[in-house]
Amino acid sequence: MLVVIGRALVHNSAMRIATLLLAAALATPALAEQSATTIKLVIHGGAGTLQPSDFTADEEAAYRERLSAALTTGYEILSAGGSAVDAVEATIRLLEDSPLFNAGKGAVFTAERRNELDASIMDGSALQAGAVAGVTVVRNPISAARAVMEKTPHVLLSGPGADAFASAQALEIVEPGYFSTERRLRALDKAQAREAAAEEAVPAGKHGTVGAVALDRQGRIAAGTSTGGMTNKRHGRIGDSPIIGAGTYANEQCGVSATGHGEYFIRHAVAFDICARLRYNGSSVGEAARQVIHEVLGPIGGTGGVIVLDRQGHHAMEFNTLGMFRGWIDDVSRKPQVEIYE
């Protein structure tokens, strides 16, 4: 009953999460008894040159509060018997609605001063996936990605076609200005000034992509990622976040969400590579994440990080930058564990 309710409400915005929690609380005893598998949620909010000196005490507290709230939201769904897909979508929606991160409201700007958003989600239990790229009016791109997964035979929709599809699915549509913030406009102006002075593209120092990987009581893994991309990117540029196997991947054994310089993550199929190392090499999540982030990406200049979760509830949060917004929660801790710096 819970899965049916969750899917029936997948395209409602304000009431969906509350209804999922209520339905899960009223689930049958048989569902509640399926508690042998550890539930877990791991999230990230971007990696980069993050140091304590970069934030005031209030600013750091705001990041920690939002990450904790996102973890709590997803955990409540999982602990009540909800699916990993439900938990991933709800968690990422909360991060997309915060101007603190580079996803949804607060997304960075393209060189043409536009906000173009990408997102993807994957249900590892069924090897089903959905993604959108370059959307400009969908308030929560992660919900549009889920709609692609569940309502179409496709994996990736982009641009105006993706926006039109989201509208047809009754997802919340906003004016493009909704995503704009003064902080991101200042970042664009600074990046373009640096680019003009150097007469070459200057990569951004921070990657504010958000992501989540969840393990539910049925042992199912789901992963999702959402981003505004790179500051000052070319109009139409698509990074790794909506690319299944690069920025997001999940199967029955492993789930990954990535953040970083997307071109490197695409070229090296980072998310898939990590899960493949578990399957074919018998690597642990920690070993696989360390190898890919530090031995594959590091030497070629690929910066960023990943969160990884396996079916046994083991997780890794690996990055080769100075910091990564990250956290986790499970049915042992029952409290959000949030970290930012190395």
Query: Confidence band (pLDDT; 50, 70, 90) for 280?
Result: very high
Task: Return the closest-CA partner of residue 103 out of 130, 77, 155, 67.
Answer: 67
What separation in angstroms does the CA of 184 have from each of 9, 60, 141, 208? 33, 18, 19, 11
- Strand-pairing partners, residue 255, are 250, 309
CA atoms within 13 A on the CB side of 86: 30
Per-residue tokens: 97: 């609605």
Q: Note the pLDDT of residue 117.
A: 98
What separation in angstroms does the CA of 144 have from each of 31, 175, 271? 28, 16, 21
Q: Note the pLDDT of residue 200.
A: 58
Q: Note the pLDDT of residue 17.
A: 47
Query: Confidence band (pLDDT; 50, 70, 90) for 3?
Result: very low
Three-state DSSP at 13 gives: coil
Q: Note the pLDDT of residue 168.
A: 98
Query: Confidence band (pLDDT; 50, 70, 90) for 195?
Result: confident
Q: Note the pLDDT of residue 145.
A: 98
Of 7-21, 194-208, 273-287, the one with minimum mean pLDDT is 7-21
Question: What stretch of H or E contains 167?
Answer: helix 159-168
Per-residue tokens: 18: 């509350």
Place of tokens 């509640």: 32
Rounded-to-integer distance, Cα 207 and Cα 323, Å:
10
pLDDT at 312 > cutoff 50: yes
Burial of 31: CB neighbours in 10 Å, binned 0-12, 13-18, 19+: middle
Q: If you average pLDDT over residues 85-102, what whole number do you get?
A: 98
Among 3.30.1950.10, 3.30.70.100, 3.60.20.30, 1.20.140.10, what is the CATH number of 2-341? Answer: 3.60.20.30
Q: What mean pLDDT, rounded, does the chain reach?
A: 89
pLDDT at 109 > cutoff 50: yes
Strands (E) located in 49-193: 117-123, 128-135, 156-158
* Helix, strand counts (H, E) of the chain: 11, 13
Three-state DSSP at 79 gives: helix
> Which member of 91, 110, 209, 227 is catalytic?
209
Place of tokens 């000034």: 193
Task: Return the closest-CA partner of residue 331 out of 67, 80, 38.
Answer: 38
Express each pLDDT in 9-59 by its tens digit: 344 444 454 444 444 443 333 333 233 358 999 999 999 878 898 899 999
What separation in angstroms does the CA of 335 have from each of 58, 146, 217? 21, 27, 18
Q: Note the pLDDT of residue 8.
A: 40
What does the domain layout of the chain look like in residue ranges?
A: 2-341
- CB 224, CB 257: distance < 8 Å: yes
Q: Note the pLDDT of residue 11.
A: 44
The structure's pTM equals 0.88
Rounded-to-integer distance, Cα 226 and Cα 238, Å:
12
Q: If you average pLDDT over residues 194-201, what whole number do you get?
A: 75
Strands (E) located in the chain: 40-48, 117-123, 128-135, 156-158, 206-207, 210-215, 221-227, 248-250, 254-260, 304-310, 315-319, 323-330, 337-341
Express each pLDDT in 203-236 by its tens digit: 555 568 999 999 999 999 999 999 999 999 999 9
Active site residue 91: no
Q: Note the pLDDT of residue 224.
A: 98
Q: Note the pLDDT of residue 206.
A: 57
